């Protein structure tokens, strides 16, 4: 039975079953001509006229006739056909074995007679309604064109491996060029994304560089005239939109330029933004033509294959997606992965658990978005398979296309994905032969978990560049030269895990007193690194600075009752904190963290000659700290220096197993044994804590 007869027979059976003895069924039974279908109509006669069109019954599904992958609610533009490789131009097998089954006395001589070559692929390629996007993969606008190709002997039904709608694919961010005015000032301090994830760690490890790593950005193109794009590291790409010539990759929407800037904006040029992977080679592959436009699955699949086979990409960034699962896009991704090309994609902006592709494909690293509070952005898609890790993606500074020095702020998982792509470029630069699985291990082990461990909202957690480069290289991104031996393990531990920072690249200022602002900030960071979010809000004290490094932590500490001001609506952020006040705050925080206090025996203080100096509010906390091993001496009224603060925090964290990365409890790299006593800086107090 030939293909058309098979279609007619199946169609007739379906129509008869669905309509019983309706007038349409009777009309078809009495009709002696040919009929066929597309996804909306039944057509009667090969050369149909408008009056010959009959609408489908509601319960008829044409996708049951061919092996068509289809998601009913997913928008699409045309169809993708994957053909078998066996039917080549040289294949001389007879397609129609019985000539009389194919219109022996056809009314249209163009439809051919007798022996047909099976799958005359060259004629199919030359068909004006057909576009070949890859070897044996074609795109047509209507199913009608596939049927005509079968009827004309260009292809056979046996040639077709599958047909799927050419699903529409959407950018996962705001493409509109609005936001910052065009100014030329450095904007590093506006990049909360780098501050939150310690992105500066990326350029502090000697010889850790993404240079030579090729990153294909499949998006809306790139505005190479921007002051923060170093064209030395941009390779000519390709345009798949059909708008303009094939080499036109100039960005008309701003989306692709924003994404590219997140990956590789020029660092150290005194202009604009910084980036983690400046120096990586960018290849812009344009699939979005203009504002509000969509791409198709065939465009994306073609770009993925070209990125792999033509442009030599090591990494592909896909800040785009669809709720429809395209088999052809998945095939292209699997092909890329077989060549050790890493794929990173935006999780989607639906704000719900609907799977978004390509992020939900098993071979893809899906990236969700967080806001500056460390919480999942409300728009960020979650759910099974969508999110491997989360990264900054709400109100992030980006390059713009309005002018050579224009910038903007935008939101979307589109801008979270390239943050991870930049980290991937670092990893690939460190080891060009690294596999995606190994990169995923580094991501997993260095991400800061949320909600107690892996979950469908944050994946393995929020990326932390400082911990990532440590996992990647085995080296810390800092090199403090002013830390005494007794404090070194604790300082390294606190700095490595983002709880305390140095005062300069090579300085920790261990001997300086810890300020009240520094102490509550370190405690807040400890809370965040243990998987909790602290909202950005300003405190109400008259002597603090809104938007400063400590402001939200002060507001947080006051709101939960672990710290107070000093009176007259003042906080004294830069005043040194005493040892007894530091321990009291830590004691109160322990209750918040769910750490059992147990019964505190005040008699443990009797061993210390200076116990009488302890203020009433601090007696129980000091006894608790001694009993728990957090301190080994008192000196309650002395200032707590930064080295001693690091030891206090480290003991508190590791004793109570507060930090976990990749499921492993974070501990200092060496045991801490401080039992000696000394005097320091003209203050008669004990250094041991």
Checking if the pLDDT of 464 tops 50, the result is yes
- N-to-C CA span, the chain: 90
Residue 86: the pLDDT is 55
Can you read off the two tokens belonging to residue 39?
């996804």
Residue 162: the pLDDT is 79
**Quick one: which of 637, 587, 632 has its CA closest to 612?**
637
| Cα(292)–Cα(297) distance, integer angstroms | 17
Residue 512: the pLDDT is 94
Instruction: Please indicate whether residue 494 or residue 336 has the higher confidence score (pLDDT).
Output: 336
Of these ranges, 97-101, 292-296, 566-570, the one predicted with the greatest mean pLDDT is 566-570
Cβ atoms 414, 218 nearer than 8 A: no
Residue 526: the pLDDT is 86
Q: How confident is the model at residue 356 (pLDDT cuts 50, 70, 90)?
A: very high
**Quick one: which of 22, 54, 407, 69 has its CA closest to 223?**
407
Q: What is the pLDDT of residues 253-274, one digit of tens each?
A: 999 999 999 999 998 888 889 8
**Quick one: which of 225, 569, 253, 167 has its CA closest to 405?**
225
Please name every residue paired with 397 in a beta bridge, in sequence order, or none if there are none: 409
Question: How many other CB atoms sit within 10 Å of the CB of residue 518?
Answer: 24
Please name every residue paired with 79 in a beta bridge, in sequence order, or none if there are none: 140, 165
| Cα(643)–Cα(424) distance, integer angstroms | 34
Q: Which residues, other chains included, contact 594 with Cβ-Cβ below 8 Å and sequence gap of 6+?
A: none
Query: Range with the lowest mean pLDDT among 32-46, 313-327, 574-588, 616-630?
Result: 32-46
How would DSSP label each residue in 497-528? TTSS--SBTTB--TTSBPBHHHHHHHHHHHHH
Please name every residue paired with 641 in a beta bridge, in sequence order, or none if there are none: 513
Instruction: Please indicate whether residue 448 or residue 88 has the higher confidence score (pLDDT).
Output: 448
Checking if the pLDDT of 65 tops 50, the result is no
% of the chain residues with pLDDT over 90: 50
Can you read off the two tokens belonging to residue 628?
């728990």
Checking if the pLDDT of 30 tops 80, the result is no
Q: Helix, strand, or coil here: 578?
A: strand
Q: Could you tell me whether strands 35-37 and 41-44 are parallel, antiparallel, or unpaired per DSSP bridges?
A: antiparallel
Q: What are phi and psi of 39, to 5 degrees?
A: -85, 5
Q: What are phi and psi of 342, to 5 degrees?
A: -85, 140
Catalytic, 219? Answer: yes
How would DSSP label each residue in 630-664? S-S---TTSB-BHHHHHHHHHHHHHHTT--EETTE
Can you read off the two tokens belonging to residue 2?
């030939």
Of these ranges, 101-110, 288-297, 396-405, the one predicted with the greatest mean pLDDT is 396-405
Q: What is the pLDDT of residues 116-138, one digit of tens each?
A: 434 467 778 888 888 888 788 88
Can you read off the two tokens belonging to residue 60?
């008829």
| Cα(451)–Cα(378) distance, integer angstroms | 16
Checking if the pLDDT of 459 tops 70, the result is yes
Selected catalytic residue, list 76, 145, 255, 630: 255
What average pLDDT does the chain have? 79
| Cα(426)–Cα(444) distance, integer angstroms | 16
Query: Range with the lowest mean pLDDT among 53-62, 393-402, 431-440, 493-502?
Result: 53-62
Checking if the pLDDT of 389 tops 90, the result is yes
Q: How confident is the model at residue 154 (pLDDT cuts 50, 70, 90)?
A: confident
Q: List b or e across 248-269, with b for residues whose CB sees 16 or more CB atoms inside 10 angstroms.
A: ebbbbbbbbbbbbbbbbbbbee
Residue 659: the pLDDT is 54
Residue 186: the pLDDT is 58
Domains, the chain, with CATH or none: 3-71+88-129+142-157 (no CATH), 172-473 (3.40.50.200), 485-665 (no CATH)
Checking if the pLDDT of 308 tops 80, the result is yes
Q: What is the pLDDT of residues 619-677, one digit of tens each?
A: 999 999 999 899 999 999 999 999 999 999 999 888 876 655 444 444 444 332 222 22
Checking if the pLDDT of 141 tops 90, the result is no
Can you read off the two tokens belonging to residue 175?
């493409």
Q: Helix, strand, or coil here: 94?
A: strand
Q: Helix, strand, or coil here: 463?
A: coil
Note the pTM of the prediction, 2 decimals: 0.74
Residue 105: the pLDDT is 36
Q: What is the pLDDT of residues 193-227, one digit of tens each?
A: 888 888 888 888 888 999 999 999 999 999 999 99
| Cα(485)–Cα(672) distance, integer angstroms | 10
Residue 547: the pLDDT is 76
| Cα(109)–Cα(519) distance, integer angstroms | 89
Average confidence (pLDDT) over 580-585: 96
How would DSSP label each residue in 13-66? HHHHHHHTT-HHHHHHHH--S-EEE-SSEEEESSS--GGGEEEPPTT--GGGTT
| Cα(281)–Cα(347) distance, integer angstroms | 24
Instruction: Please indicate whether residue 104 or residue 593 has the higher confidence score (pLDDT).
Output: 593
Q: Left (φ > 0), alpha (ψ -120 to 50) or beta: where does 398 sit? A: beta
Q: How confident is the model at residue 684 (pLDDT cuts 50, 70, 90)?
A: very low
Residue 658: the pLDDT is 61
Residue 201: the pLDDT is 84
Selected catalytic residue, list 159, 219, 464, 539: 219
Q: Helix, strand, or coil here: 69?
A: coil
Query: Range with the lowest mean pLDDT among 128-142, 237-251, 667-681?
Result: 667-681
| Cα(655)–Cα(212) distance, integer angstroms | 44
Selected catalytic residue, list 414, 530, 551, 635: 414
Q: Could you tell me whether strands 214-219 and 315-318 are parallel, antiparallel, or unpaired per DSSP bridges?
A: parallel
Q: Which residues, other chains included, contact 291 with Cβ-Cβ below 8 Å and sequence gap of 6+?
A: 175, 176, 252, 253
């Amino acid at each position: 039975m030939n293909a058309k007869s098979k279609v007619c027979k199946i169609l007739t059976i379906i129509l008869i079953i669905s309509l019983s003895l309706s007038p349409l069924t009777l009309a078809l039974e009495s009709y002696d001509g040919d009929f066929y279908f597309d996804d909306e109509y039944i057509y009667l006669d090969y050369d149909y006229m408008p009056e010959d069109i009959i609408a489908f019954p509601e319960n008829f599904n044409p996708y049951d006739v061919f092996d068509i992958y289809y998601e009913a609610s997913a928008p699409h533009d045309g169809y993708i056909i994957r053909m078998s490789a066996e039917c080549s131009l040289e294949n001389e097998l007879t397609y129609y074995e019985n000539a009389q089954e194919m219109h022996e006395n056809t009314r249209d001589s163009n439809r051919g007679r007798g022996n047909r070559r099976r799958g005359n692929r060259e004629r199919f390629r030359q068909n004006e309604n057909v576009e070949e996007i890859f070897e044996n993969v074609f795109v047509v606008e209507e199913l009608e064109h596939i049927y005509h190709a079968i009827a004309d002997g260009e292809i056979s039904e046996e040639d077709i491996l599958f047909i799927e709608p050419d699903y529409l694919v959407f950018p996962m961010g705001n493409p509109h060029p609005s936001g910052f005015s065009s100014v030329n000032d450095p904007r590093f301090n506006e990049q909360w994304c780098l501050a939150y994830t310690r992105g500066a760690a990326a350029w502090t490890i000697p010889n850790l560089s993404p240079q030579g790593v090729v990153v294909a950005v499949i998006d809306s193109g790139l505005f190479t005239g921007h002051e923060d794009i170093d064209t030395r590291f941009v390779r000519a790409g390709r345009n798949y939109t059909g708008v303009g010539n094939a080499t036109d990759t100039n960005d008309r929407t701003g989306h692709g330029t924003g994404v590219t800037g997140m990956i590789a904006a020029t660092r150290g040029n005194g202009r604009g933004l910084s980036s983690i992977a400046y120096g990586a080679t960018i290849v812009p592959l344009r699939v979005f033509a203009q504002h509000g436009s969509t791409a198709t699955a065939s465009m994306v699949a073609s770009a993925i294959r070209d990125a792999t086979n033509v442009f030599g990409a090591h990494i592909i960034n896909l800040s785009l997606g669809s709720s429809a699962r395209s088999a052809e896009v998945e095939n292209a991704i699997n092909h890329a992965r077989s060549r050790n090309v890493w794929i990173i994609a935006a999780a989607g902006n639906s704000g719900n658990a609907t799977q978004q592709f390509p992020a939900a494909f098993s071979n893809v690293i899906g990236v969700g978005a967080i806001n500056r509070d460390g919480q999942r952005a409300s728009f960020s898609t979650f759910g099974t398979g969508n999110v491997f890790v989360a990264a900054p993606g709400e109100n992030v500074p980006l390059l713009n296309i309005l002018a050579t020095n224009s910038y903007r702020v935008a939101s979307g998982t589109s801008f979270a994905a390239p943050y991870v792509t930049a980290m991937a470029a670092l990893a690939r630069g460190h080891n060009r032969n690294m596999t995606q699985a190994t990169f995923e291990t580094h991501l997993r082990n260095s991400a800061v978990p949320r909600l107690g461990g892996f979950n469908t909202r944050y994946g393995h957690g929020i990326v932390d560049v400082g911990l990532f480069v440590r996992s990647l290289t085995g080296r810390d991104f800092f090199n403090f030269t002013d830390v005494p031996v007794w404090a070194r393990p604790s300082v390294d531990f606190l700095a490595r895990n983002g709880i305390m920072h140095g005062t300069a690249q090579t300085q920790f200022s261990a001997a300086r007193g810890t300020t009240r602002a520094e102490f509550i900030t370190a405690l807040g960071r400890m809370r965040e690194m243990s998987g909790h979010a602290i909202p950005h809000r300003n405190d109400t004290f008259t002597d603090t600075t809104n938007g400063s490094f400590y402001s939200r932590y002060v507001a947080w500490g006051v709101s939960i009752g672990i710290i107070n001001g000093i009176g007259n609506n003042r906080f004294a952020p830069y005043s040194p904190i005493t040892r007894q006040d530091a321990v009291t705050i830590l004691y109160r925080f322990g209750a918040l963290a769910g750490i059992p206090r147990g019964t505190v025996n005040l008699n443990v203080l009797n061993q210390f000659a200076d116990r009488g100096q302890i203020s009433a509010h601090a007696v129980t906390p000091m006894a608790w700290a001694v009993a728990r091993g957090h301190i080994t001496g008192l000196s309650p009224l002395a200032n707590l220096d930064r080295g001693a603060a690091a030891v206090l925090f480290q003991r508190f964290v590791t004793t109570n197993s507060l930090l976990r990365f990749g499921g492993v409890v974070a501990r200092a790299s060496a045991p801490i044994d401080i039992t000696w006593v000394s005097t320091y800086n003209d203050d008669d107090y004990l250094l041991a804590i």
